Structure 1
Amino acid sequence: MCGLALTGTVAGLPPEPAGAETARTLAPGEEGSLLEECPPGRAGQAARVSDPDAAVPEGGELTPQQAEDYDRRFREALVPLRGQEMQAPRNVPVVVHVISAEDGRGDVPQARVDDQIEVLNTAFSGGYGTDGADTGFRFELSETTRTVNDTWFTRFDEYRDTIRAELHRGGAGTLNVYTAQLGTGLLGYSSFPQDYEAAPDQDGVVLAHDTLPGGGRDGFDLGHTGTHEVGHWLGLFHTFQNGCASPGDYVDDTPYEREAASGCPVGRDSCPRKKGDDPVTNFMNYSDDGCMTHFTEGQARRIVEHWAAFRS
């Protein structure tokens, strides 16, 4: 098994660049136990899973090198914006593309689509916990499209480029959400804002249809897969990006975390030499929906800056 694995596995990290903070110190007896580094995957997607054996599209987990490249492109895009006031948009238009089978599987009722938009607005306004930041982002459903296609529904990942190219609406500031049946354990995935210019018709968020509110996905049917993936769409990495090694997820106020959380292990401290317990209740983790409560102020600033750099 390679190092940058999925939920419940330890992340082995490559050496840090010169001048960076020293990568995590090995605990006694841990020497030689680190997993080998994963071969580079294709960037452009970040996934959320409920099963460590899930088939994750396009790499899913970013390598440290890929995350560093995304951050470099982000910082370069901010240079011409220095001195300008950056704000979240008043409303982000959302187009939800419901893809279903001929027998009715996946035909998400409009009420559940509306509930998903409400979940996004509550989450991004800090409404799920006293420690939640109001990011300033609000979302407004502008259209729901419905496509009945057995092949697209059951084999979305295989045909995703064609599906997204045919169904995509709007520009960089329009959130396109696609719902279908995904692989076992795979909850959803998203593009990053840095990739919009190169592939605008592939931009958006993909969700397993049963992760929308009331969908019946055990542990994951409150709509926070949508919250998580929209966080990626706005530029955030997983809280466990880079494990215990600097710079973590590139956000100062999210504690370091060696590996993704599963369930709701509140109080876990997988990077004891770093400040703070693991951010298991953060929306950018892999915790169960009922465990997730907030984005941080640092994450809120980062998504506003990404919006200004790539989507405004």
Structure 2
Amino acid sequence: MQEAFKKVNPVQKRAIDHVFDVYFNVVAANMTYEGGWVPDSQIAAQMDVLNKGYAGTGIQFKHMDTIRILSSYYFNTLNVPDTSDLTQILYTYGQLFRKGGQSTMNINLIGFSADDDTYGFTLLPSLYATYAPIDGLYVRFTSLPGGSSPDRQGSTVIHESGHWFGLLHTFENGCDGDGDGVDDTPAEAEPASGCPVNRDTCPQAGLDPIHNYMDYSAEGCRNSFTAGQIDRMHSAISVYRS
């Protein structure tokens, strides 16, 4: 009973004690929307969604500047760093364009390849010392509010920023072991899609956390972090992002 109660324990709102500078790097192949030239209005809307998503966590964000990078090369080659070539491309790109240090968030709006259904990726904060130039969020430009991806309208940046603060996916390790390492996120066997209310894929207490920002459920389904996740983010900030 105590474990089940802990999993529905409400989040206590925290006063703002961390404000992070944010730079948007808009990587575009050309000056059309299809080429990645995201309008300022969508960036402003994304900042609003981001701060609303973190309301009550003690974490907020301040938009410092938008840098526009007209480069078909980087628009078409920046991608998930699963090979040494891609890691080197990201490293070179970051050396040229990344702003600030470990406490400065760079949101890189990129295209990904046409056959890739990835919406974003982010290195965990513990990797900053080794991969500082790569540090930041890499997000598909169509996923911003008002963009052409109807199932992603701003929550991708919230999800990826959770990784930037050290959070793992809610379905990490499935039903086994420590899961995502946070006690109050119920175990989940695999990513959710859509908004499957009352989904329960693991025998442990609690329904699948389909409303959590760190799941893969649909845009309108994800709306919260748990108290344990918020504590974990603050711990990561004190170690890696201060």
Q: Could you say whether these structures have the same fold, taking a TM-score greater than 0.5 normalized by the shorter chain as the test?
A: yes
* Structure 1 CA distance for aligned equivalents of residues 20 and 196 of structure 2: 33
Aligned-pair distance for 1:277? 0.5
The equivalent position to 1:117 in structure 2, one of 11, 36, 47, is 47
1:1-312 to structure 2, matched below 5 A, reads 89-104=17-32, 105-125=35-55, 134-157=56-79, 158=86, 159-183=89-113, 184-220=116-152, 222-271=153-202, 273-312=203-242
Residue 281 of structure 1 aligns with an amino acid whose one-letter code is: H
Superposed displacement of residue 88, structure 1: 6.4
Query: As a proportion of its length, which structure holds more strand?
Result: 2
Structure 1 letter corresponding to 2:65? E
CA distance in 2, matches of 1:225, 1:166: 25
Mapped to 1, the partners of 2:195 and 2:77 lie a distance apart of: 31
The answer on whether the counterparts of 1:262 and 1:287 sit within 8 Å (CA) in structure 2 is: yes
Alignment coverage as a number of residue pairs: 216
Could you say which residue in structure 2 is the equivalent of 1:12?
none
CA-based RMSD of the aligned residues comes to 1.3
Query: How big is the shift at 1:89?
Result: 4.1
Query: Which gives a bigger RCO, structure 1 or 2 (Cα 8 Å, sep 6+)?
Result: 1
Q: Secondary structure at the match of 1:186?
A: coil
**Given that residues 188 and 206 in structure 1 are in contact (C-alpha distance below 8 angstroms), is that contact kept between their aligned partners in structure 2?**
yes
Please state whether the residue corresponding to 1:90 is helix, strand or coil. Answer: strand
How many angstroms apart in 2 are the aligned matches of 1:99 and 1:233?
20
Instruction: State whether residues 30 and 36 of structure 2, in contact with CA within 8 Å, keep that contact through their aligned partners in structure 1.
Output: no
**Contact 2:20–2:62 (8 Å) recurs in 1:** yes
Q: Pick the structure with greater CA Rg.
A: 1
Unaligned 5+ segments in structure 2 are 1-14, 80-85
- Contact 1:88 1:304 (C-alpha < 8 Å) held by counterparts: no
Taking the aligned partners of 1:277 and 1:169, their CA distance within structure 2 comes to 40
CA distance in 1, matches of 2:182, 2:188: 12
CA distance in 2, matches of 1:218, 1:160: 28
Q: Helix, strand or coil: the match of 2:130?
A: coil
Residue identity matched to 2:168 = F
Displacement, 1:111? 1.0
* Matched residue type, 1:205: L
Q: What amino acid is the match of 2:72?
A: D
Q: How far 1:235 moved relative to its partner?
A: 0.3
